[in-house]
Structure 1
């Protein structure tokens, strides 16, 4: 009897933990897709509010991806000094 109750409780706890982990990963993926859609949808209007808002969100959403953050830094450098066109090729 004790083994049955313990196994039932343990399986429920493990199932809940795995479900939370999976949902967390899916939520992060959804956010990354949404921000990418927003950036690409406004890519021809880089001085607009929507693009600026999306660029600000990139730092938060992609905080764990060093490649994205490095590309963002290169883009900011190029936007500050448009004469550095060679940097855009590295993105």
Structure 2
């Protein structure tokens, strides 16, 4: 005969196991999500400052790549090419595009633009304020 004590112990065991499984799944998802957010932030700053005259933020983003994408061999290979060229003050556009594309592929982002468009400097002209009425 199934007693109330057995029923309570079965529910407690199931609740404990469910709680543990839920906690582990939350930790795994949080690690994956925060890692992806760091990669997106690095790519965003890299793209946002690639044509800026003040290269400080571009260099910061460039120097974050080996740490942020440490487990992505294709990104690191492309980074090494750019690093060697940057020490010689000559970075080929093709290698810079390869680096950008490898970072985007690693975080599963389809930028939807061509290779030619990746390096173009995008800016809007200064907008003149509307005259008061």
Q: TM-score range by the shorter chain?
A: 0.7 to 0.9
Aligned ranges for residues 1-91 of structure 1 at < 5 Å? 1-45=8-52, 48-81=55-88, 82=90, 85=92, 88-90=93-95, 91=98
Which whole-Å CA distance do the structure 1 matches of 2:53 and 2:40 have between them?
Answer: 19
Structure 1 segments, 4+ long, off by >3 Å, are none
Larger radius of gyration: 2
- What RMSD over aligned residues (CA atoms) do the two structures have, in Å? 1.8
Comparing 35-44 with 45-54, greater Cα deviation is found at 45-54
How many pairs are equivalent?
A: 88
TM-score by length of structure 2 reads 0.60
Please report how far the alpha carbon of residue 62 of structure 1 lies from its aligned counterpart in structure 2 after TM superposition.
Answer: 0.2
Is the helix fraction higher in 1 or 2?
1
Q: TM-score scaled to structure 1, two decimals?
A: 0.85
C-alpha deviation, 1:76, in angstroms = 1.2
Structure 2 residue runs without a partner (length 5+) = 1-7, 99-133
User: Greater relative contact order (Cα 8 A, min sep 6): structure 1 or 2?
Assistant: 2
Secondary structure of 1:8's counterpart equals helix
Name which of structure 1's ranges 47-56 and 62-71 shifts more when overlaid on structure 2.
Answer: 47-56
41-50 vs 72-81, which deviates more? 41-50
